């Protein structure tokens, strides 16, 4: 596995902070009547997309903490995304509550990323049959979030 530096660590941390800073005012300004619209019955509404990002944050916050205390390789357990969104009832929830949950979770993750030791970025992670590292897991979380947040532009 690669050895990571403080620069690598700061890039990940800064990237999350920049995503929060950029999307916070945009998401806060979206009207309730707009975010509940489903393009078709099989597609997620904006509420469900942001709810999905909350689920991702919940799962990854848990992973980012556990990875630093458990033995290697840390095994990433997948979750059934569509069922999480459905069972959480995001489509019926108040937009502001979903937004506040997303914001709070990502501020918490940003704080975890700020204090982790750069050496832990090399920790071994097993995702299915693939062997990766903690750096990959964080970067994947950020890429995934950015992919979905671009849907709000």
Tens of pLDDT, residues 6-60: 999 999 999 999 999 999 999 999 999 999 999 899 999 999 999 999 999 999 9
Half-sphere exposure of 153 (CA within 13 A, CB side): 7
CA neighbours within 13 Å on the CB side: how many for 140?
15
State the Cα–Cα distance between residues 138 and 147, nearest whole angstrom: 14
Which residues are bridge partners to 125 per DSSP?
Answer: 74, 132
Q: What tens digit of pLDDT does each residue of 66-123 get? A: 999 999 999 999 999 999 999 999 999 999 999 999 999 999 999 999 999 999 999 9
Instruction: Give pTM, 2 decimals.
Output: 0.96
CATH of domain 6-34+41-152: 1.20.120.450
What pLDDT is recorded for position 14?
Answer: 97
* Domain regions of the chain by residue span: 6-34+41-152
């Amino acid at each position: 596995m690669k050895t990571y530096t403080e620069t690598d660590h700061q890039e990940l941390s800064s990237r999350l902070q920049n995503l929060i800073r950029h999307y916070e005012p945009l998401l806060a300004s979206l009207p309730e009547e707009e975010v509940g619209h489903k393009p078709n019955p099989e597609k997620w509404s904006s509420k469900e997309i942001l709810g999905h990002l909350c689920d991702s944050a919940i799962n990854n916050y848990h992973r980012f903490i556990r990875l630093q205390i458990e033995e290697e390789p840390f095994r990433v357990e997948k979750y059934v995304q569509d069922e999480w969104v459905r069972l959480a009832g995001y489509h019926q929830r108040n937009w502001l509550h979903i937004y506040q949950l997303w914001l709070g979770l990502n501020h918490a993750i940003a704080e975890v990323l700020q204090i982790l030791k750069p050496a832990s970025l090399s920790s071994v992670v097993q995702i299915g049959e693939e062997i990766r590292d903690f750096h990959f897991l964080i970067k994947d979380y950020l890429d995934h979030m950015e992919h979905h947040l671009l849907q709000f532009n």
